Amino acid sequence: MLFIIVFFLNLLYSSYNLPFTTKEVIKLIIPGMTDLHVHGPQYAFRGLGMDLELLDWLNANTFPEESRFEDLAYAKKAYEIFVSDLRNSTTTRACIFATLHTEATLLLMDLLEKSGLHTYVGKVNMDRNGTPALQEKDSDTSYADTEKWILHSLQAYSNTKPILTPRFIPSCSDELMRKIKKLEKRYHLPVQSHLSENINEIAFVKELVPSSSCYGDAYRQFGLFGNEVPTIMAHCVYSNKEEIELMKRSGVYIAHCPESNINLASGIAPVRKYLEEDMHVGLGSDIAAGSSLNLLKSMAMAIQASKIYYRLVDQSKKPLAFSEVFYLATLGGGSFFGKAGTFLKGYAFDAVILDDSHIRSPRKMNLEERMERAMYLTDEIKIIHKYINGKFIF
C-alpha cells in the first residue's frame, strides 16, 4: 500500500497539478534513483563473459580486470567513463565497490565528488582466495591501507563517503574481518558486502567459517551485519529463514540485483517475501554481472524475475507491480542515504527529468502509463535534467 501511495504522490508532484495535453509538452519528473550495489571497475567489461557462474566468473573475468587498476593511467581512463555514464543515468545516489587499490579508489572518489553524485565508495578488502595479481599481502597491509584511505576520504570529500567493503567472506580471513570491525568502531562507517548469491559460494562460506549457522551469521560473528552498523548486503538469493530473521532484526539493507542473478545463473531472490517481512530492499545494477547502469532496466527486470519466481517457484508470491519496483528504485534504496528517494516533504530534492516524446504511439497515455512504458522502452527515453540534493547537475 505504501508503495502505491508514494508512487502516486510522486506522480502528482511530477504533473505540477497541471492538466497535461500532449506528451510533447510535459516531461516526466521522478525522484532520483539509488543504485545500492555497483562495481565501478567492472564497467569496462559490461555485457561480456556471462557464460560462467559466480566463482568461476570472478576468477576468469573480474579479478583479471580489477588487477589492472593498480595502473593509475588505466584506472583514470576506466573510471572517467564509468563516472560520466553514471552521472548521465537516472541514478542520483550509489553505493560503489572500487578495487583493493587505495590510489585508484581515491581517484574514483575524486571523479565522483566532481560529478555531483552522492555516493558511498568502498576500497575493497581481500586477503585470501584472490589471484597473485589481485589480493592484499596480508590482513595488516589491508588494515593499514584501508585506514589511510579512510582518513584521506573523510577529509577530502563532502558527498563521497567511505564505506567498509570486505569483498565477501571467501575473500576475507578471520583476522581481516576483525580488523575491519576495529576500523568500523573507530570511524563509525557503514558496511557493504555480498550475501547468499550462489549455491557453491554458500557451501564455501560454511567451510571457511564452520561455526556460522548461516552465511549472514558469518558476518554477524565479526560484528559486521547491521544493528549499530548500517549494512547493505547484495543479492540474498538463497537466504533461509534464520538469515532472513537475522537481517530483519539487524535492519540490514538488501540490494536486489535481478539481472546479475539471472546472468550468472545464480537464481531469483524472493523479493516479495522480503517486502512482506517489511525488510529494507533497494535495487542494484551490479555492474558487470548486470550489464547496464540504467535502473529503469533493473526495475523491469525485477518485475520479470518476480514473474518467473511466481510461475516456477512459489505461486503464493505475487509478482511485483510497477509501483513496487518504482519504490525499490527510489525510496527503497534511497533511505540508506537518510531523507532521500521521494518528493515527500522534508526529503532532499533528487530529481530526474525524462523526455519520452520520442516514443510514438497513436494512443493518449496518462502519466502512470508513460512512466511504466519508460521502464521497458529505455532505448527511446532521454534523460534531460538531473538535480541532486537541490543542486542542478545538468
Q: Which residues bind its own copies (CB under 8 A)?
A: 44-48, 50-51, 65, 74, 77-78, 81, 84-85, 259, 262-263, 265-268, 291-292, 294, 300, 303-304, 307-308, 310-313, 319, 321-322, 360-363, 365, 369, 372-379
Nearest partner of 37 among 318, 337, 333, judged by Cα: 333
Please say which residue, 47 or 338, places its beta carbon nearer to its own copies: 47
What is the rounded distance in angstroms from the CA atom of residue 260 to the CA atom of residue 388? 27
Please say which residue, 353 or 377, places its beta carbon nearer to its own copies: 377
Please say which residue, 192 or 260, places its beta carbon nearer to its own copies: 260
Smallest distance from its own copies to CB 134, Å = 16
Q: How many residues does the chain have?
A: 394
Give the DSSP per-residue string, 207-252.
HHSTT-SSHHHHHHHTT-SSTTS-EEEEE-SS--HHHHHHHHHHTP
Please say which residue, 299 or 348, places its beta carbon nearer to its own copies: 299
Packing angle of the helix pair 174-187, 139-156 (nearest 10 deg) = 20
Smallest distance from its own copies to CB 29, Å = 19
For residue 87, the Cα-to-chain-centroid distance in whole angstroms is 15
Find where cell 532505448 sits: 379
Smallest distance from its own copies to CB 379, Å = 5
What is the rounded distance in angstroms from the CA atom of residue 93 to the CA atom of residue 330? 10
Find the largest Cα–Cα distance for the chain: 65
Task: Assess contact for 155 and 202: CB atoms under 8 A.
Answer: no
For residue 257, the Cα-to-chain-centroid distance in whole angstroms is 7
Reduce the DSSP state of residue 177 to 3 states and report it.
Answer: helix
Torsion of CA 70, 72, 74, 76, to 10 degrees: 130
Reduce the DSSP state of residue 388 to 3 states and report it.
Answer: strand
Q: Phi, psi at residue 94, to the nearest 5°?
A: -155, 150
Q: Which residues does 239 contact at the CB level (< 8 Å), separation at least 6?
A: 195, 196, 214, 215, 216, 247, 269
Q: How far apart are the first and last CA of the chain?
A: 34
Smallest distance from its own copies to CB 382, Å = 11
Smallest distance from its own copies to CB 121, Å = 19
Smallest distance from its own copies to CB 327, Å = 16
Smallest distance from its own copies to CB 168, Å = 20
Please say which residue, 251 or 319, places its beta carbon nearer to its own copies: 319
Please say which residue, 81 or 156, places its beta carbon nearer to its own copies: 81
Torsion of CA 210, 216, 218, 223, to 10 degrees: -160
DSSP structure class, residue 367: H
Smallest distance from its own copies to CB 70, Å = 14
Please say which residue, 42 or 129, places its beta carbon nearer to its own copies: 42
Please say which residue, 144 or 313, places its beta carbon nearer to its own copies: 313
Please say which residue, 112 or 176, places its beta carbon nearer to its own copies: 112
Smallest distance from its own copies to CB 324, Å = 11
